[in-house]
Amino acid sequence: MNPPQSSSAGRREVRFEREPARRVFAAELREARHQFREGTEEKSPTYVLLPTGQRCNRVFVVGSMTEKQRQGEQNIFYRARIVDPTGTTFVTAGNYQPEAMQQISQIEPPAFVAVVGKPNVFEAPDGGGVYVSLRAESVTVVDRETRDLWVLDAAKATLDRIDAYGTTEDSRRAAGEYRIEPALFRKTVADALAQLNL
Amino acid sequence: MDLSIIAARISQKIQTRGKNVEQHEIEAKLRLLVDEFGVPPAEAERTVISELGREYQVQGLAGAVESDRHPIAELVPEEWVTVEGKVVSLSTPNSPSIAQTGIIADASGAIRFVVWAKAGAPHLEAGRWYRIESAVVDEFRKAPSLKVHSGTTITPLGTDEALLPTVTPVAGLKPGVSSVRVKMVQEWEARSDRILQTGLVGDETGTIKFTIWKEEGRDPLVPGTVYDIYYATVDEFNGRLSLVLNSGTILPDEEAVLEVGTGGQVYSGAVVHVGQGSGLVKRCPVEGCNRVLSRQNYCPIHEFQPQFRYDLRIKAVLDDGVSTKNILMQRETTESVCGIPLDEAVGIAENSPLGMDEVFLRVQSAVMGRYLDCQGREMDTTVLVTSAERRRFDPVALAALIDRAGGEA
């Protein structure tokens, strides 16, 4: 959450601005490595820095759930793969995300789903490299049209980030953290849109 | 009179407003008027000040030298003024250090006034005209008000001019005192026992929240009726305007028809959260209450209400990827967005083992993740949605994005 934006004077309560859910293609999200915390308090939000130069604390993805896996006996835990035109995004839900977990448990892949979740960067314990996943807040079955709308939305958001690259603080930070040329994602976007055109 | 002294005075006056004008430039202007055109120095001073005021966009400069009265509509804070106007309303002061508060109006407009107890001023009567000399204009919550202090002279005037207030369109309201012609649009539940009525009024240009505080002789407005409201108070709070009608004269015009403009905006995005309290709710049946009851049919004010009414609504978060908005949909919009009419929702709740939760789940799965274009108005922190549509896939948008992505690859 951002710092308090305004205080509603009547009740003197602090108003927090909800973190927007960024639209990110799987191909870009999987390249994210840099995670940081803003502020020093326990509840300070953490962000994943996208290679195109924007921090995100929440992500919105619509794609096909192609597979789900249930793990654990005492502590049930779900993993799901969400495929968009550019690749696969990994989604997880455990006991701390009961709503998302129950939703995933009822979904039979393959199905178009809309996922709202918090991105996390993990280092595989066996030295299997670094990967990014979304801890789901909610997973809902949607229709194909919603998926197509999301591809347009994610394409536009990605192009906006590429165009703003170098002009924002986050993108300058990304330039220091990543060696990927953000312009490469322009091709990702073009390919994703081409698939819709079929 | 030495023109350089006048020039120095004008220059100083402009400096106090944060603008700088060369003194010799001012003197040259004065000299031109006085020497070339035979204008009396006092009139030349006035002319130059008003000319500079326009040139440097400083308001209210001219007032300070005019010994005559100032139009009330043009009063600006931190100015000593003389006005002639009619006391159109008196209100009860909320502090012993204040003798009287009310509203004084002339043909140009109206302003709140405060008479300090220490001013020793004569008692003002509503409906009478007064000349108030050397009062001070200041600002309270962005609204100008006129302070009558011990240096102020008040003279009752014999006149009894008819005063026709100028009506301001709702979209053009500013903090202060204004007259409006509006239709009562909506009644809201009052959050305080001291409120007689609160809700929404509007005209063609938009809508605004109104409040009537409980007070003897005050009647609530009737929904759908058009009113001329003279000298209501426009307050600003947290950047939003609202009308307090207690200071005003409220005249219903039962014959009139007024088309109220939504003045709303379109908010687009995806639904990323559906809040608790969405779906089927039970409302308190007590007249004017309408609060949502607890699961046990308990109203926080009217206690247990087994004869509740069912209603449908959605409280959600709309997110466009850049910012988020809390949205609230009433029954009609909820029905059309979810495709579940109220009677069907009641049926589901009564027949499902999950009860009302089943309706929540269906509403949630109908709107979560969907792209909506919502028409509505932002109130407090929530957009009250008046209509909402599912966004449709647009091949033109796709073509434009393909162009954009391919443009500079």
Helix H, strand E, coil C: the string for chain B is CCHHHHHHHHHHHHHCCCCCCCHHHHHHHHHHHHHHHCCCHHHHHHHHHHHHHHHCCCCCCHHHCCCCCCCHHHCCCCEEEEEEEEEEEEECCCCCCEEEEEEEECCCCEEEEEEEHHHCCCCCCCCCEEEEEEEEEEEECCEEEEEECCCCEEEECCCCCCCCCCECCHHHCCCEEEEEEEEEEEEECCCCCCEEEEEEEEECCEEEEEEEECCCCCCCCCCCCEEEEEEEEEEEECCEEEEECCCCEEEEECCCCCCCCCCCEEEEEEEEEECCCCEEEEECCCCCCCCECCCCCEECCCEECCCCEEEEEEEEEEECCCCEEEEEECHHHHHHHHCCCHHHHHHHHHHCCCCHHHHHHHHHHHHCCCEEEEEEEEECCEEEEEEEEECCCCHHHHHHHHHHHHHCC
Task: Give A-chain residues touching B409 at CB under 8 angstroms.
Answer: 183, 186-187, 190
Structural domain contains residue B249 = yes
Residue A184 in contact with partner chain B when CB distance is under 8 A: no
- Out of A37-51, B37-51, B265-279, B355-369, pick the least confident: B37-51
Nearest CB to B369; choose among A6, A23, A142: A142
- B289 and B384 together in one domain: yes
Chain A residue with minimal CA distance to B326?
A18
In chain B, the number of structural domains is 4
CATH class for the domain made up of A19-197: mainly beta
Q: What is the pLDDT of residues B118-163, one digit of tens each?
A: 888 888 998 889 989 888 898 887 888 999 988 888 888 877 777 8
- B277 and B377 together in one domain: yes
Task: Give B-chain residues touching A58 at CB under 8 angstroms.
Answer: 272
Q: What is the pLDDT of residues B292-341, one digit of tens each?
A: 999 889 999 899 999 999 999 999 999 999 999 999 999 999 999 999 99
pLDDT band at B18 (very low <50, low <70, confident <90, very high): confident
Q: What percent of chain B has pLDDT over 90?
A: 42
pLDDT recorded at residue B258: 82
Residue A18 in contact with partner chain B when CB distance is under 8 A: yes
- B233 and B350 together in one domain: no
State which residues form the domain around B32. 3-64
Structural domain contains residue B383 = yes
Task: Give B-chain residues touching A150 at CB under 8 angstroms.
Answer: 270, 371
- B215 and B128 together in one domain: no
CB contact under 8 Å between B409 and A187, yes or no, is: yes
What CATH number is given to the structural domain containing B346?
2.40.50.140
- B90 and B149 together in one domain: yes
Residue A198 in contact with partner chain B when CB distance is under 8 A: no
Structural domain contains residue B405 = no
- B229 and B313 together in one domain: no
- B58 and B95 together in one domain: no
- B248 and B279 together in one domain: no
- B375 and B325 together in one domain: yes
- B146 and B181 together in one domain: no
Structural domain contains residue B409 = no
Residue A50 in contact with partner chain B when CB distance is under 8 A: no
Structural domain contains residue B56 = yes
CB contact under 8 Å between A193 and B368, yes or no, is: no
Structural domain contains residue B399 = no
Tell me the domain boundaries of chain A. Answer: 19-197
Q: What percent of chain A has pLDDT over 70?
A: 91
